[in-house]
Structure formats: C-alpha cells, structure tokens
C-alpha cells in the first residue's frame, strides 16, 4: 500500500512539469478531455470511504468519535476562515474581492482542511501493525468524518456559488432545493447499493468491469439530475458494507480497479498544476498548513477531553488527522470547476497545502503510534539483528 501511494505522489509531482505551464507536453485542451477519468476516480474514492464505515466497528467508540469530529470541525473551519480573512490583503486575487466572498472561500478551505486521507491512515496502521484504543479512535474518526465533510462541502460550495452570482443572497427556496438534492443523493445511493448487493448474490462475474461501469453510470446520472455524486457513491459503499456480507469483496474490487484510475487521476491533477502560480502561493500554503495543525490539535484534544478519553489519546491522536490526498484533491478540482473566476487560485492554494500534508502526515502519525506503544512492527535495530540471524549459514563439517 505504501508503494502504491508513493507512485501516486510521484505521478502528481512529475506531471506538474509536463503540463501546460512548464514543458507543455500536455496542453489545456487535452486536460479538458480527461474530466471523465476525474469523475471515475472520485467515484472510486467515495466508494472506498463509504465501505470503511462499518457500524459494528464504529459504535464501540462512538461517543469519542462524534465529539472529536464535532470539535475538529468547529475549530478547524473557524480558525481557517479567520486566517483567510486576515491574509486577504496579501493575496492579489483576493484583495479586490468582497468580504462576503472571501468569507465563503475561507469556509471552503476550512471544510477541506477538516478532510483527511483514509487510505493514508490505513497504510500507516498496516505498516506499523498498530492495535489499541488510539488506533481504533483515529480510524473511526477518519472514516466517519468523510461523510460529514462531503455534506458540509456540498452546502458551503453552493452558498459560495450564490455569492459569486448576481444575487448575493442564498434564498430559502435555494436552500430547500439543496437539501432536496442531498436527500435524493442519499436515497439514490441506497438504491444503487442494493443493486450492487443483487449483483453479488446472482452474478459475481467480471467484478472490475462491473464496478467501473456502475461508477460511470452513477456519475452520469448524478450530473444529469444535479445530484451530489460523491455523497451518492459514499452511501453506496456504506449500504454494501453494512447491509450485506459482500463488503470485503466490494472493497477488494474497488481497490483493484482503482490503481490504474488513481495513477491517471494524480497524473492529470499534476498536469493541471500551474507551477508559477503555485510557487508564489507557497507562503500562503504554509500559513494554511500551520493553522490546520494547530486547529486539528485543539479540536482533537478538546473532543477527547469532553469524551473522557485516556490522556494518551488527548495528546497524540491529533497526529492521525494530518495527511490528505484523494478526497481533498477531489474537492480542490470541484472548486476550480464551480468557481471559474477565482476557483483556480483557491485550487492551487489547496493543492500546495495538500502536498505538504501528504509528506508530513504519515511521518508524524507513525511517530505518535510508536510513542503511544500501540505499534507491533519490529524496530530498525531488531530488524537488522533478525536479518543477520537469517543470513547466518550453517558451517560445513
């Protein structure tokens, strides 16, 4: 799993140089034709996130999980929004924008800052063979938080879209329409989930083709009827995992079909990066990352304290929520599409912060797991000793 994520990061970085702004091997008109791959990758990411939401596993730590998610969301969104408002005069595209719009952008970046990478968290836990209360809490918060973030992002992006239009107010009918869209997205996800369960019961042939095919089908239909396909696909994964015995098979099929799609997805994301603009935004990205680290620590600590958790969780659990990747990157792409005038700048700011979080997240989380005493992977020294023992050959008599 670790090698797979390294390939994705490499694709993101390498293709940023071959895109339209440096070597120009890939032109903007080429990138527009890959939107279907973007949507498929986001569909598989949402399938995966939904399938990780196992009710039986989550309910053991539900009080702690809910309080940590609540406090992380409140603290992170609030602090990030304040930071974006404070740096408004220093960011050229923001300087002349109305304060209401910048407030909305702060909310968007704040919500995306709450998101993290379930796959990255699982990769570190598997690599270190960690087990314990902190590991279970971090994993539970990680997988359950995705659905909260997707709903919040859907609400916030629609509010900000209303601020960029001619009507700068979000009227009641628009809000009701949005809530209906969310409800229909959840309902359609439940229906698609049941269809997938029927497939496993009666067909079970060509699983990878079926998953890719239904992913395209759900995405196309969701766009056609203006539904939120990320939420729909997450509900699909949740239904298959919790209302059938096929959750593991479904997750296995999603993971197998996702590798080539993710590599293309990260390659496209890299080619879309405007490196000259990105370079100028690094100081702002560092400010966003730093404020996110502070808010995640404060949110996790306060949530764990309210839940009456062990001091170890209060002090160290925050480290499991730093890494970002697929979902956050998908949000950044959606922002650039739906806010065309200022969306690209926001996307580049978010991607720059994601790159930093992708690098530091696993390192800090691995350190915290070792500090908590929940790892069972051999240390470097013991691994060397074990290798020396294995390399010993019996002497010939």
CATH number at residue 174: 1.20.1530.20
> Which residues lie below 8 Å from residue 199, measured CB to CB, with a gap of 6+?
210
Residue 389 has pLDDT above 60, yes or no: no
What is the C-alpha separation between 112 and 349, in angstroms, rounded?
Answer: 11
Residue 319 has pLDDT above 70, yes or no: yes
- 381 in a structural domain: yes
CB 44 within 8 A of CB 50: no
Q: What is the mean pLDDT of residues 159-181?
A: 63
- 53 in a structural domain: yes
pLDDT value of residue 11: 58
- 312 in a structural domain: yes
pLDDT value of residue 189: 93
Mean per-residue pLDDT over the chain, rounded: 78
If one compares 187 and 377, the residue with the highest pLDDT of the two is: 187
Length of the chain: 397
- 397 in a structural domain: no
If one compares 294 and 154, the residue with the highest pLDDT of the two is: 294
What is the C-alpha separation between 153 and 53, in angstroms, rounded?
Answer: 19
Angle among Cα 2, 25, 283 to the nearest 5 degrees reads 60
- Percentage of the residues of the chain whose pLDDT score is greater than 70: 75
Q: What is the mean pLDDT of residues 335-362?
A: 80
- The total of structural domains in the chain comes to 1
Per-residue tokens: 245: 């015995």
- 322 in a structural domain: yes
Lowest mean pLDDT among 43-47, 250-254, 391-395: 391-395
Q: How confident is the model at residue 360 (pLDDT cuts 50, 70, 90)?
A: confident
What is the C-alpha separation between 166 and 291, in angstroms, rounded?
Answer: 33
If one compares 243 and 90, the residue with the highest pLDDT of the two is: 243
- 154 in a structural domain: yes
pLDDT tens digits, one per residue of 182-211: 789 889 999 999 999 999 999 888 999 999
pLDDT tens digits, one per residue of 207-257: 999 999 999 999 899 888 888 787 788 889 989 999 999 999 998 998 888
Q: How confident is the model at residue 119 (pLDDT cuts 50, 70, 90)?
A: low
Q: Single out the residue of 251, 229, 228, 227 nearest to residue 239, CA to CA.
A: 251
- 343 in a structural domain: yes
Range of the domain at 131: 2-391
- 396 in a structural domain: no
What is the C-alpha separation between 247 and 181, in angstroms, rounded?
Answer: 27
What is the C-alpha separation between 107 and 75, in angstroms, rounded?
Answer: 12
pLDDT value of residue 110: 92
């Amino acid at each position: 799993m670790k090698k797979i994520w390294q390939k994705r990061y490499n694709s993101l970085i390498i293709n940023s140089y071959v895109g339209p702004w440096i070597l120009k091997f890939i032109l903007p008109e080429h990138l527009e034709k890959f939107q279907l791959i973007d949507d498929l990758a986001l569909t598989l990411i949402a399938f995966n996130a939904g399938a990780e939401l196992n009710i039986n596993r989550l309910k053991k730590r539900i009080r702690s999980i809910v309080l940590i998610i609540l406090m992380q969301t409140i603290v992170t969104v609030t602090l990030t929004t304040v930071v974006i408002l404070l740096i408004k005069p220093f960011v050229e595209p923001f300087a002349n924008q109305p304060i209401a719009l910048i407030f909305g952008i702060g909310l968007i970046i704040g919500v995306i800052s709450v998101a993290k990478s379930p796959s990255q968290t699982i990769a570190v836990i598997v690599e270190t063979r960690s087990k314990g209360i902190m590991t279970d809490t971090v994993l539970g918060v990680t997988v359950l938080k995705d659905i909260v973030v997707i709903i919040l992002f859907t609400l916030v992006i629609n509010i900000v879209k209303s601020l960029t239009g001619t009507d700068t107010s979000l009227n009641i009918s628009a809000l009701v329409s949005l809530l209906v869209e969310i409800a229909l997205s959840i309902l359609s996800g439940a229906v698609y989930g049941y269809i997938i369960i029927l497939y496993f019961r009666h067909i079970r042939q060509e699983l990878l083709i079926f998953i890719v095919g239904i992913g395209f089908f759900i995405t196309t239909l969701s766009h056609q009827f203006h539904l939120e396909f990320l939420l729909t696909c997450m509900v699909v994964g949740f239904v298959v995992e919790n209302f059938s015995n096929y959750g593991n098979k479904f997750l296995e099929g999603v993971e197998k079909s996702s590798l080539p799609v993710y590599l293309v997805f990260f390659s496209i994301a890299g080619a879309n990066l405007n490196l000259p603009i990105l370079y100028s935004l690094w100081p702002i990205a560092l400010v966003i990352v730093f404020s996110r680290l502070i808010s995640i620590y404060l949110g996790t600590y306060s949530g764990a304290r309210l839940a009456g958790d062990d001091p170890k969780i209060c002090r160290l659990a925050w480290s499991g929520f730093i890494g970002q990747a697929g979902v956050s990157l998908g949000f950044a792409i959606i922002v650039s599409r739906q806010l065309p005038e200022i969306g690209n700048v926001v996307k580049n700011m978010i991607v720059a912060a994601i790159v930093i979080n992708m690098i530091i997240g696993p390192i800090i989380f691995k350190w915290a797991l070792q500090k908590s005493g929940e790892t069972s992977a051999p240390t470097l020294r013991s691994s060397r000793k074990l290798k020396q023992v294995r390399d010993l050959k019996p002497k010939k008599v």
